[in-house]
Amino acid sequence: SQQGEEDPQALSIQEGENATMNCSYKTSINNLQWYRQNSGRGLVHLILIRSNEREKHSGRLRVTLDTSKKSSSLLITASRAADTASYFCATDHFGNEKLTFGTGTRLTIIP
Amino acid sequence: NAGVTQTPKFQVLKTGQSMTLQCAQDMNHNSMYWYRQDPGMGLRLIYYSASEGTTDKGEVPNGYNVSRLNKREFSLRLESAAPSQTSVYFCASGQGYGYEQYFGPGTRLTVT
């Protein structure tokens, strides 16, 4: 069964606006990762946040993690047309080698 | 570096036919993975290999077999294809538990 649930399922914003998507999970995690997938392509790793971290930045990306609420958010600032893609969160859990992916948020940036 | 490569890119099979999907990585990663992606389902793990010589089942292993041929290569075999196996298949590699994964471009498989 899927651990991560992204919200919203789809999001459309104007270029230049900020985009926020959320991920919730059910059981305690070791790490949480975000990936991007452009249409018809493989997934690309964006950022990894460990369970003892609360916030992490990478360029225009900001990820937060709230382990008490079992949730994470991905913020993309100053969006660009090239950010149009699906975004997935993935979790791994203590003692479990496997990553579990959510169903994704489809982000569309309107030029 | 090519990263993770997969062959073929597209394949159409008839029900009952067999085929092998090939995957290779040139990043010296210990771990390799096979996923399938279906509309609205996200990615689901089929099999993985934590190191050369070991393989383990993932979430949806039924109907598939794998071989970790060496550190670089990890193949996925469908012995008797079924329409339910129509999907996009992704191979990935990584340093292992707690690290990011690197994905190949995918194989789009249709079983009629």
| Residue contact B48–A97, C-beta within 8 A | yes
Q: Computed from CA positions of residues A95, B92, B41, A107, in that sequence, does the dihedral angle turn out positive or negative?
A: positive
Question: pLDDT tens, A11-48?
Answer: 999 999 999 999 999 988 999 999 999 998 999 999 99
User: What does the longest C-alpha to C-alpha distance in chain B come to?
Assistant: 39
Task: Tell me how far CA of residue A65 lies from CA of A53, A94, B78, B90, B109, in angstroms.
Answer: 7, 17, 39, 27, 36
> Does A94 contact B at CB distance below 8 Å?
no
What pLDDT is attached to residue A1? 47
What pLDDT is attached to residue B24? 98
| Residue contact B98–A101, C-beta within 8 A | no
Residue B42 is nearest to which of A40, A48, A88, comparing CB atoms?
A88
Mutation site, A31, A49, A99, interface B, largest B CB count within 10 A = A99
Residue B98 is nearest to which of A30, A41, A103, comparing CB atoms?
A30
Find residue B37's DSSP bridge partners. B43, B88
Residue A100's closest CA among A110, A111, A88, A92? A92
Mutation site, A98, A100, A106, interface B, largest B CB count within 10 A = A98
Mean pLDDT of chain A: 93
Place of tokens 């900020």: A18
Looking at the complex, report in whole angstroms how far the Cα of residue B94 sits from the nearest Cα belonging to chain A: 11
CA dihedral A42, B39, A107, A46 (to 10 degrees): -30
Copy the structure tokens of residue B53.
């010589």
Find residue B88's DSSP bridge partners. B37, B108
Q: How many CB atoms lie within 10 A of CB A70?
A: 18
| Residue contact B90–A43, C-beta within 8 A | yes
Q: Is the pLDDT of residue A6 over 50?
A: yes
Residue B97's closest CA among B23, B29, B26, B36? B29
pLDDT values of chain B reduced to their tens digit, one per residue, 112 residues: 789 999 999 999 999 999 999 999 999 999 999 999 998 778 999 999 999 999 999 999 999 999 998 999 999 999 999 999 999 999 999 998 889 999 999 999 999 9
The rounded Cα B109 to chain-centroid distance in angstroms is 12
Looking at the complex, report in whole angstroms how far the Cα of residue A91 sits from the nearest Cα belonging to chain B: 9
Copy the structure tokens of residue A17.
């606006």
For chain A, the 3-state helix, strand and coil shares in percent, each to the nearest 5, are: 5, 55, 40
φ, ψ dihedrals at A81, nearest 5°: -55, -35
Nearest residue in B to A29, CA atom: B98
- Which residues in chain B have their CB less than 8 angstroms from residue A100's CB? 45, 59
